[in-house]
Amino acid sequence: MEALSQLLTIAIWEIKRLQGTMTRDLLPIAIALLILLVGVSGFTAQQGIHLQDGMYRIGVDSPLYLDIIGGDPRYVTYALPSDVTDIRALGLDLAIRTGSLLRTNGDKGSAAQKSFERDYQAYQDSVYRQQTDLFAAYPLWIDSEYIVSELDFLATQEGQQLSAPRQASATPPEPEEPEINIIPPSGIALENMEAFRIQLEQEALKGADQLGRYTDILSQQEALGELRIPSMLSPPLPFDTIIFIFVFIFPLYFTSQFFMMSIMNERTLRQGEALIASPVSPLILVLGKMLPYAGGMLLIVTAILFTVKADITAILPLIPVILFFLSFALFIGMIARSYKELSFISIFFSTIATSYLFFPSIFANVHIVSLLSPVTLVVHVIDGTGYTLTDYVYSTALFYLTSIILFGVCIKNFHEEQLFTEMGLLDALALYLGALVSTRYWYLSLILISAMTIPFVFMAQMMYLVLFFNLPMPYSLILIMMLAALTEEIVKAAGFVALITHRFPPLSWKVVVSASLLIGFGFLLGEKLLLFVTISQIADSIFGAALFLSLSLLWIPFLLHAGTVFCTGAIIKIWGIKALPFGVILATVVHSMYNLYLLRGWVF
């Protein structure tokens, strides 16, 4: 009860402090800028974005063709002399002469032609849309139906996205169970013609209006039926998800910045000393300071969801994202030495976090990998598909775990010695790790430290997976494997770093050997535990095999983990802590060689 009132007091202080920053010199200007922003966005939307204006030059022998190029500002148009043979000599990229399109050699000519073809398609469609008999201009309509296959996961898990489609046989395949209860597709009635025309016009408008396209996306309007003409069949590029990410992540990022600055301000000029000296526990301090920001973020997200009229369940996947941003804000606020370091680390972190959130979600509705990002669930809620509890656990577990562990580490270190030091980033990290080692039960601490690095390792490895899985095979596999080995070796070295910073027990050969065994054990334990909870689906694919290879038998991976971290430990023992990078590299090489040996069948 007392803890709760302390928590509230701290939270109220924090809100008052925040109100202090929003002074008279900030608010009016901020409001004016926001109004200006709305005005300018409107103006730019009207004017269009002039980025690629005049990139290509096109010559035409008749003003008739101006209809096609129309308002595309990428083209500068010239009148083509009738006797011209070499268009390059005129400095042109493209030319239309008596209905035939010429281009210069090279990338620029090809790009110009590609763009022209798209313009021509739009022009053609605009002519066809005006026809009285729409079904003469568009005689073919496609209804796309998606069948859910029970074998879905098996196929994606075998890593056969593109690489292993089934080779068709000469005779039709026999299904084991023919489908019964089939509803034959219904035809299209003539009286719907005008509705189809309107749908086509809307689609065309969406494509033409750069900014309008983006503003429309969030207010979902269901297109008339599922019927499309063939040229509209291609899967859309994932602009929708990009917009979602920006709309949700940016306000969260900015709010977490305020929290980060609040922590940083406690450290500059030792302002927070009184707070830390008070009898309030660091846990309450940190939570109290965080509460207003977490509440603010929830409010922002709710407001956004309300504006786009999305179901409120979309807020659940965003909670771990909020925690994730806040925990990193706390960590960065605690370790940065100067403002510029704060800026760079936070921008760097948020770029990587944004891409982690973004990359998988572009495969929404396409691939199981997409579920790695909680934003995919938001996309699903907004397009009406929803998500299951398994999906939720699967995509948010890593976010919850990493945030909670990071909060734990930071709260454990939230006292004078750590807060007011002027150490570099890596030294501070070593100090934090050292503080986690208990002098009496150092062996237990080692197991714990390596076990708790696992969510971070998984997160990094998932990042490699989404970044590289569309590189051609074996390269993607080898690259992912080596990066995975490197990451694992780096975090395993954390145990040794913690031990050395803690200065007890002194690093004798005996300690090096037993520490290696303990770290190997802790690492394996964490890996096993987390795999049970979350990513068994990915772990079964060939890419998963590259990442989590070491799970087949227990004693082999144990020896591997212990052995490779022993390489690191031995090098530190012989040449001192400065040689750590070489130790990690040696361990990575050994680790990768082992992985390559196991995966040789896939690679060669």
Partner 1 sequence: MGLLNYRLVSIIARKELRGLTQEKTIILAILLQLFIAMFSSFLMVGLSAMYDPSMYGRVTGVQYGVGFVGNDTILFDLFTRNPAFIPYQMDAGSALGALKERKLAAVVWTSETLPDAEDPVAVTLYTISNDIQSTVIEVKIKDILLEYEEILRDVRKDRLDSKPIPVTPSRPVVQNSFYEFIYGLLIPMLLFMPAIISAGLVIDLITEEYQEQTLDTLRTTPASLEDIVCGKILACIAIIPLQAALWLVLLTVNGIQIASLIEILLHVVFASAALILIAATIAVYYRDRTKAQFIFSTAIIIVLLLILAFPSNPINLIVLLAVGGAPPFHWAVMAASVAGCLILIVLVRNMIRKVEFS
Residues 437-476 that bind partner 1 (CB under 8 A): 467, 470, 472
- Cβ atoms of residues 550 and 565 within 8 Å: no
What SS3 class is residue 225?
coil
Does 487 interact with partner 1 (rule: CB under 8 A)? Answer: no
**Can residue 111 be called a binding residue for partner 1 (CB under 8 A)?**
yes
Smallest gap from residue 469 Cβ to partner 1 (A): 9
Query: Which stretch, 103-111, 200-208, 444-452, 571-579, contacts partner 1 (CB under 8 A)?
Result: 103-111
Confirm or reject binding of residue 214 to partner 1 (CB under 8 A).
no
Pick the closer one to partner 1 by CB: 316 or 473: 473
> What is the distance between the alpha carbons of residues 604 and 598, in angstroms, rounded to a whole number?
11
49 binds partner 1 (CB under 8 A): yes
Residue of 153, 219, 201 lying closest to 367 (CA atoms):
153
Q: Judged by CB under 8 A, which of 6, 7, 57, 379 binds partner 1?
A: 57
Q: In angstroms, rounded to a whole number, what is the distance separating the alpha carbons of residues 446 and 451? A: 8
Closest distance of CB 141 from partner 1, Å? 5
Sequence length of the chain is 604
Q: Does 9 bind partner 1 (CB under 8 A)?
A: no
Give me the phi and psi of 583, to 5 degrees please.
-60, -45
Other C-beta atoms closer than 10 Å to the C-beta of 99 total: 9
In contact, 517 and 450? CB cutoff 8 Å: no
Is 251 among the residues that bind partner 1 (CB under 8 A)?
no
Question: Cis before residue 238, ω within 30 degrees of 0?
Answer: no
Is residue 96 near partner 1 by the rule CB under 8 A? yes
Under the criterion CB under 8 A, does residue 198 sit at the interface with partner 1?
no
Comparing CB distances to partner 1, the nearer of 30 and 303 is 30
Q: Does 178 bind partner 1 (CB under 8 A)?
A: yes
Rg (CA), the chain: 30
CA distances to 275, 560, 588 from 563, in Å: 45, 5, 11
In terms of CB distance, is 117 or 311 closer to partner 1? 117
Q: Is 341 in the site for partner 1 (CB under 8 A)?
A: yes
Cα–Cα distances in Å, from 175 out to 172, 178, 179, 180? 10, 6, 9, 12
**Amino acid letter for position 81:** P
The single residue among 1, 4, 89, 182 that binds partner 1, judged by CB under 8 A, is 182
Of 152 and 201, CB closest to partner 1: 152
Our CB check for partner 1 shows the closer of 144 and 219 to be 144
Is the distance from CB of 413 to CB of 435 less than 8 angstroms? yes
C-alpha distances in Å from residue 103, one per residue of 86, 100, 116:
10, 10, 11
Q: Which residues are CB-neighbours of 480 under 8 A, at least 6 positions away? A: 461, 464, 465, 468, 469, 543, 546, 547
Among 8, 64, 224, 277, binds partner 1 (CB under 8 A): 64
Of residues 41 and 278, the one with the C-beta less far from partner 1: 41
Query: Euclidean distance between the first and final Cα of the chain, in Å?
Result: 64
Return the residue of 3, 12, 48, 393 that touches partner 1, per CB under 8 A.
Answer: 48
Nearer to partner 1, 57 or 573 (CB): 57
Piece of the chain touching partner 1 by CB under 8 A; list 344-352, 387-395, 491-499, 510-518:
344-352
Would you say 81 or 178 has its CB closer to partner 1? 178
The answer to the question of residue 176 lying near partner 1 (CB under 8 A) is yes
Determine the Cα–Cα distance for residues 229 and 214; give it in Å rounded to an integer. Answer: 23
Among 8, 12, 37, 223, binds partner 1 (CB under 8 A): 37
Is 137 one of the binding residues for partner 1 (CB under 8 A)? yes
Binding-site member from 6, 14, 104, 115 for partner 1 (CB under 8 A): 115
Tell me the residue type at 464. Y
Query: Could you say whether residue 50 binds partner 1 (CB under 8 A)?
Result: yes
Q: Which one of 132-140, 407-415, 481-489, 572-580 is the stretch in contact with partner 1 (CB under 8 A)?
A: 132-140
55 near partner 1 (CB under 8 A): yes
Segment (H or E) for 81: none
Integer Cα distance of 589 and 596 in angstroms: 10
- The answer to the question of residue 103 lying near partner 1 (CB under 8 A) is yes
Distance of closest approach, residue 212 Cβ to partner 1, in angstroms: 15
Among 13, 78, 214, 258, binds partner 1 (CB under 8 A): 258
DSSP helix/strand/coil, 189: coil
Q: Please compute, for residue 60, the number of CA atoms within 13 A of its CA located in the half-sphere on the CB side.
A: 14
Phi, psi (deg, nearest 5) at residue 185: -60, 140
30 interacts with partner 1 by CB under 8 A: yes
Q: Is 100 in the site for partner 1 (CB under 8 A)?
A: yes
Longest CA pairwise span in the chain (Å): 93
Q: Toward partner 1, which CB reaches closer, 41 or 390?
A: 41
Under the binding rule (CB under 8 A), the answer on residue 63 touching partner 1 is no
Cβ-based nearer residue to partner 1, 476 or 588: 476
Contact 364, 376 (CB under 8 A): yes
Q: Does 365 bind partner 1 (CB under 8 A)?
A: yes
Candidate list 3, 12, 34, 205; residue touching partner 1; CB under 8 A: 34
- Scanning 268-314, the segments in alpha helix (DSSP H) are 273-277, 282-307
Q: How many residues bind partner 1 (CB under 8 A)?
A: 139
Q: Which of the residues 275 through 314 are near partner 1 (CB under 8 A)? A: none
Contact status: 581 vs partner 1 (CB under 8 A): no
Closest by CA position to 89, among listed 76, 74, 107, 104: 104
In terms of CB distance, is 26 or 198 closer to partner 1? 26
Residue 99 interacts with partner 1 (CB under 8 A)?
Answer: yes
Q: Closest separation between CB of residue 152 and partner 1, Å?
A: 6
Q: Is 380 in the site for partner 1 (CB under 8 A)?
A: no
Q: Please identify which residue in the block is written with the tokens 């593109």.
A: 162
Interatomic CA distance for residues 517 and 563, integer angstroms: 8
**Taking CB under 8 A as the rule, does residue 167 contact partner 1?**
yes
Residue type at 88 in one-letter notation? R
